[in-house]
Amino acid sequence: MPSEDTVISCRNVWKLFGPHPEKFLKSMPDGMGYDEIAVAGYIAGVKDVTLDVSRGEMLVIMGLSGSGKSTLVRCLSRLHEITGGTVEVEGTDIGGLSERDLIELRRNKMGMVFQSFGLLPHRTVLENVAFPLEMRGQDRHARRARALEVVKLVGLEGREEYFPRELSGGQQQRVGIARSLAIEPDIWFLDEPFSALDPLIRREMQDEFLRLQEMLGKTIVFITHDFDEALRLADRIAIMKNGAVEQIDTPDQIVLNPATEYVAKFTEEIDKSRVVHAGVLVEEGAHPAGGDPVDAGATIQSLARRIVNDSADTIPVARDGKVIGAMPRAKALNVLLGGAG
pTM comes to 0.86
DSSP string of 38-90, one letter each residue: HHTT-EEEEEEEEEEEETT-EEEEE-STTSSHHHHHHHHTTSS--SEEEEEET
Confidence band, pLDDT 50/70/90 cuts, at residue 2: low
Residue 12 inside a domain? The answer is no
Tell me how many domains the chain contains.
Answer: 1
pLDDT at 310 over 60: yes
Contact 86, 108 (CB under 8 A): no
Give the integer Cα–Cα distance in Å for 136 and 259.
45
Q: Are strands 58-62 and 6-17 parallel, antiparallel or unpaired?
A: unpaired
Residue 256 inside a domain? The answer is no
Residue 308 inside a domain? The answer is yes
What average pLDDT does the segment 103-123 reach?
83
Strands (DSSP E) contained in 197-257 are 219-224, 236-241, 244-249
Residue 322 inside a domain? The answer is yes
Query: How confident is the model at residue 3, as a pLDDT?
Result: 59
Q: What is the pLDDT of residues 49-101, one digit of tens each?
A: 999 999 999 999 999 888 999 999 999 999 999 999 999 999 999 999 999 99
Q: Containing domain of residue 320, as a range?
A: 273-337
Residue 333 inside a domain? The answer is yes
CATH at 311: 3.10.580.10
Q: What is the pLDDT of residues 234-274, one digit of tens each?
A: 999 999 999 999 999 999 999 999 999 999 988 888 899 99
Q: How far is CA 280 from the centre of its chain?
A: 21
Count of H helices and E strands in the chain?
13, 13
Percent of the chain, pLDDT > 90?
61
Q: What order do you get walking across the sheet with 314-319 strand by strand?
A: 294-295, 314-319, 322-328
Give the CA-trace dihedral at 57, 62, 66, 72, to 10 degrees.
-10
Residue 190 inside a domain? The answer is no
